[in-house]
Amino acid sequence: MKWSVEKVVSDLFAGWYGREPDSITPLPPSGSNRQYFRIRYKNKSVVAAFNPDTRENNAFLKLSHHFHKLGLPVPQVLAEDTNTHCYLLTDLGDDTLFSLLPQNRTTELFDEQTMSLYKKVITHLPKFQVDGYKGLDLSICYPRHAFDRHSMMWDLNYFKYYFLKISGIQFDEQLLEEDFERFTDYLLQTPSDYFMYRDFQSRNVMIVDRSPWFIDYQGGRKGPLAYDIASLLFDAKANIPMAQRQELLEFYMDQLEKKIKVDRDAFRRSFYDFVMMRILQALGSYGFRGGVEKKTLFLQSVPYALKNLGWLAEQGYLPANIPHLTGLIRKISEIAPAEILPPPPEGLTVRVCSFSYKSGIPADQSGNGGGFVFDCRALPNPGREDAFKTLTGKDKEVINYLEADEKVKKFIDASAGLIKPAVENYLERDFNSLVVCFGCTGGQHRSVYCAEKLAHTLKETFNVNIELQHFEENNWPALKSSKLEAGG
């Protein structure tokens, strides 16, 4: 990407509103690669989204228009630009259903206010599933038009490759594949001529004036009814008390009966099969995001998901005709989560990175937002010197060049002077994440030097975890010395 995401977002806004925005603020990232920004203007605000996946954008935009025409509470699309992969939406604020749940819950019941919110959310679900399916062009759905055999096998293999395999749990691959096929055959017998939201969970419901609004339905497709209510009621970290899950399931069927005829006994039986399917898919996602992409926030959901699997096993809700898979489920539900996937590091983690302004400021993948961004482009540029073009800010020659200039020392000292009090404060308050980014033109010399220097200083000064990342490292030219040095 040779242009700034914030610049194209600003241009889209200016074209829509007729003037430049007052401010553009990045919003905390989600589990996807989409980037969101809040744009403020004249005491108002809109949300801008950037997503390089054209097909996913098309699905979201077309579904948004479809639902908006039906009067469903979804954000309105204000402007879109397919060439730059950006669009503008009405701003629904920052409160999600998840953010409004009682904190530090163990086994106590949700209060009446929380249950009321859930029932408001559930009241809308059959409208999406039944009314939203009518007249829907399934060709826009992404990445599949239906929750069919391909979709189910993708999800089950996601669980296999990104949870089972990276956790080191032993299994028989042939027996597991045979169980996957039988489980899929069984699920495909469930009626599926409905819209399946796909990711109907508490973080995808915005609460505005005590009313729910719905986002992140771009993965929606034709599918069974039970999957979405299973996703909501067994949403891992929401940790809804079991008795109230039963109450909300009955309430959902009450609402569904206003739209179609429901065989409640048959629905309850299929419901727990889709609960199991959803949990396995979620564990694959947690393993990929947390174990592979190192987004440690996702690892926090693993214990809750394993607890839910254990409950299914205890209640006898695991299918009988997939013995190897159900045996694995019983096994992993009895193992301590820390033994399956390593937990996030204890204490404060400071993520220090270098980047190129040509590619844009990196998003904070921790989910916390905030942090520091320092612009190194006013410092002397080694990249203009032929002798340094194939070197980086980790090489001795570049380090000597930069440290010979007093302005560089002042810049480093000033940066550290701002960051150290923040680290001290975060340690006192038991915060677990802080992000510090240094940017320069190419992300090779000045920003790399500054990131390395600060990481070393913080490691020597504080008892914190340091994660160092150079975003342009894969684009650096062949290096003369740093590749030969141990750890370089």
In a domain, 453, yes or no: yes
Same domain, 318 and 204: yes
Q: pLDDT grade, residue 314 (50/70/90)?
A: very high
In a domain, 321, yes or no: yes
In a domain, 485, yes or no: no
Tens-digit pLDDT profile for residues 143-178? 999 999 999 999 999 999 999 998 888 999 999 999
Average pLDDT over residues 54-60: 97
Question: What CATH number does the domain containing 202 carry?
Answer: 3.90.1200.10
Same domain, 85 and 104: no
Q: pLDDT grade, residue 341 (50/70/90)?
A: confident
Same domain, 393 and 276: no
Residue 227 to residue 243: CA distance in whole angstroms: 19
Contact 364, 370 (CB under 8 A): yes
User: Of 90, 106, 132, which residue constitutes the final position of a domain?
Assistant: 90
Beta strands in 154-231 (DSSP E): 194-196, 205-208, 211-214, 221-223
In a domain, 11, yes or no: yes
Alpha helix positions (H), 372-484: 396-403, 406-428, 446-461
Predicted confidence at residue 1, as pLDDT, reads 39
State the pTM of this model: 0.74
Q: Which residues contact 189 (CB under 8 A, 6 or more apart)?
A: none
Distances in whole angstroms, Cα of residue 468 to Cα of each of 26, 162, 413, 437, 451: 21, 24, 19, 10, 8
Same domain, 330 and 358: no
Tens-digit pLDDT profile for residues 204-254? 999 999 999 999 999 999 999 999 999 999 999 899 999 999 999 999 999
Same domain, 301 and 180: yes
Same domain, 58 and 120: no
Same domain, 62 and 103: no
Question: What CATH number does the domain containing 43 carry?
Answer: 3.30.200.20
Q: At what angle do helices 264-286 and 242-256 cross, to 10 degrees?
A: 120
Tens-digit pLDDT profile for residues 273-297? 999 999 999 999 998 888 777 676 7
Same domain, 73 and 138: no
Same domain, 277 and 362: no
Name the range with the highest mean pLDDT among 1-5, 26-30, 56-60: 56-60
Same domain, 121 and 252: yes
- Report the domain count for the chain: 3
Residue 122 to residue 219: CA distance in whole angstroms: 19
User: Of 340, 360, 384, which residue constitutes the final position of a domain?
Assistant: 340
In a domain, 128, yes or no: yes
Same domain, 278 and 403: no
**Segments forming the whole domain that contains residue 34:** 5-90
In a domain, 362, yes or no: yes
Same domain, 142 and 285: yes
